[in-house]
Amino acid sequence: MRIVLVGYMGSGKSTIGKILAKSLKINFLDLDDYIENELENTISDIFKEKGEIFFRNKEHIFLKEVLNKKNNFILSTGGGTPCYSGNMETILKETEHVFYLKVSVAGLVERLCKEKNERPLIKNLPDEDLPEFIGKHLFERNHFYSQANYTVLCDGKSPEEISEEIEKLLV
């Protein structure tokens, strides 16, 4: 079984993916970690040194590489992964278990305010600009996220509850 988690940054893809992988006893892969390992550099530094276009090209290559592996896994994608280079189409072609972890703008603002320094896209934004930035981004990306086979509403739920909800949808 191969499961792909998509959603905006801060939606809990990595956290939930790890819990789900442990419960289902299959491997967990974080696409951003995979890219950092392959390029021997952090996502933040890749953006800074080579730019977003370079990153998105590499992200597409590594996504296809991971999806072409025949083993079972849960893959957590980057927030922008489904929105570039036909990636969502590629993901949907390779697995029927694609979950959109949907969090409200308010929920994302609350989560992301705490981890801005690790997020290249919002690192330099004042906190008061986050709701508008996230809202605009979600509007632009919703077309891609909503193509997932399942949408899981995550507001007000623990990662464990979300993981359990996903497991029930797999049956």
Residues of each annotated binding site for Mg(2+): 14
Residue 4: what are its φ and ψ, rounded to 5°?
Answer: -120, 130
Q: How far apart are CA 94 and CA 129, in angstroms?
A: 37
Residue ranges of the binding site: 10-15, 32, 56, 79, 119, 141
CB-based burial label for 39 (10 Å; 0-12, 13-18, 19+): middle
The angle that helices 105-113 and 130-145 make with each other, rounded to 10 degrees, is: 120
- Residues of each annotated binding site for substrate: 32, 56, 79, 141
Binding residues for ATP: 10-15, 119
